[in-house]
Amino acid sequence: MKQHKKFVSQEEQGLVVQHQAAQNSVQEFATVEELLRHDAAKTSAPANIAERLQKSSAGFPGPARSWWQRLFGE
C-alpha cells in the first residue's frame, strides 16, 4: 500500500512540474516595440522612480498636432 501512495505522490509532482512548465511558456515577439510594450505592462516602476520621471517630464511640450489637424483646423 505504501508503494501505491509513493507512486501517487510522484505522479502529482510530475503534474505540478508540467503545469509550471506550461505557465512559463516561451513567448515570441515580431518587433522590439511589442516586446517593450509587453514588458511595460508586466513590470511596474518603483514609486520613487516614477515620481522623479513624472517631475522631469512635466516640462516637455505635448505632442505636436498632425498636418491634417492643422490643415482642417481640428
More confident site: 62 or 25: 62
Between CA 63 and CA 30 the distance in angstroms is: 27
In this model, does residue 5 exceed pLDDT 70?
no
**For the residues of 3-68, what is the DSSP string, one character each?**
HHHHHHHHHHHHHHHHHHHHHT-----SSHHHHHHHHHHH----HHHHHHHHHHHTTS--PPPPHH
pLDDT at 36: 94
For cell 508586466, what's the residue? 42
Do 20 and 26 touch, CB atoms closer than 8 A? no
More confident site: 4 or 48: 48
Whether the full predicted model's pTM is greater than 0.75, yes or no, is no
Q: How confident is the model at residue 18 (pLDDT cuts 50, 70, 90)?
A: low
pLDDT at 26: 86
pLDDT at 19: 58
